[in-house]
Structure 1
Amino acid sequence: MTRRMPKKLYEQELSILQARLVDMQAWVQATGARVVVIFEGRDAAGKGSTIKRVSEYLNPRVTKIVALPMPTERQRTEWYFQRYVPHLPAAGEIVLMDRSWYNRAGVEWVMGYCTPAEYQRFLRQVPIFERLLVEDGILLLKYWFSISDAEQEARFRSRAADPMRRWKLSPNDVSSITKWEDYSRAKDTMFTQTNIPEAPWFEVDNEDKRRGRINMIHHLLSRVPYETLPYQEIDIPPRPASGGYERLPRDPATLVPDHAADLGHHDPA
């Protein structure tokens, strides 16, 4: 059983790593690097919460999260990789993919959403596609988040009981319990066929989310050859003297009510 990382230690290390992520982002911008990070894994494996910690202090204009919905009818007739290509980074950008083209090797195959021919074609094409990306200069990192069957079920039950997180559950998610071995076989085949030297898979033990996040972010930073660039000081100018302009009085009809003030009557602390 994975020992749970102490909260205080986790928060201290996460703060350090997130500061380094800001440095990495600055290097990506300055050098025009292009970075794609793929987050894959079991349902409820903690991909989304890890992406949240990675992107928390990053500039959303530079570091973009891509989580594509189900394909449209038109997209179903396109070359499979076609709808992912527009989301690839330009110079100075980072893309975090909350699931990716590997949907075809996982949920689409296990749930019968693609044909055997489409599945086999994907396994043949994806190494070629990824080699083209890397050859063109994109730094491609692929992470698989692993959890046990017992931990997955516990997280599903926790979500089902939490009105703030019920939206995370879908029929496909729940079916992954009954299709655990099918998903295991699909993952093993995917790794065998797509673990190429140019873009290898890295597996994250995410039984303990705190430990998994720390390990994943630390590894990501070790794989991007960034340098900490000198910080450019920005001078804040003094505010000029008033030129005599007087602001119009606030219109009570457009002012948002002070709901926060009412809270103080109920909780003196």
Structure 2
Amino acid sequence: MLTSKSRVQSPKSKVGKASLYCLLLVAYCLLAVGCRYDMQDQPRYKALKKSDFFSDGRAMRDLPEGTVSRGNLRENKAFYTGKKENAGTAAPAASTTDALGNTVVTSFPDAVEEFPVPVSKELIDRGEQRYRVFCIVCHGPVGSGDGMVVRRGYPKPSTYHDDRLRNAPVGHFYDVITNGWGKMNGYAAQIPPADRWAIVAYIRTLQISQNPNGNMTLPMTGADVGQSAANTTTQSTTQTMASPRTGNQGETR
């Protein structure tokens, strides 16, 4: 039977345990310091800094040739560029000069002629929304080239409703949105590819709405292009009539 006397620890035992705890604490601290040095304080370069290691002196390195980020393989050339698979092998684009001395392209041999995405009412609605954000300020509500900045003196863009652009393939409009044209900058950084095609679909709808007796068609899926064009005509006409506002000084805004 244990007695209270037998359960009392000797001073020597207490000192031994305290020493063990201290050693464990020191070992843990050393381990923690070692991990921090390896993982957080390892040598590294800051962006755009000089490097004495590489022969060209640049710390920032180019990606290895052929590197593709996840989800950006872009195998569908028509979708991402608006151009045919054999682009560059056809005859060069024909061009002429307009009355203002601007070079105007009249043929588009490399541009795709069909949409690489299904054209639906939802796509056109999305295109209309994006058009009002990025395009209407120059091209105007119905694409006549009479946007607000043009009324303020900015060079007028071509109307979508002349025969040249009515007959232009859809890939041409996509390419212009992507890379720019003339005084227009490219919008590749602001508008993703799917939205660019949505805008192109809406431009086609505008062209049909302003030329209802023509033979232009839009390969719609799940909706009627005639109804979409009719809605576009009504909305655009109303906005065109309502957009000019007269300020206090008689200035058109």
Query: Which structure exhibits the higher relative contact order, with contacts defined as CA atoms closer than 8 Å and separated by 6 or more residues?
Result: 1
- The TM-score, its normalising length taken from structure 1, stands at 0.22
Question: Which protein has the bigger helix share?
Answer: 1
Question: Which protein has the bigger strand share?
Answer: 1
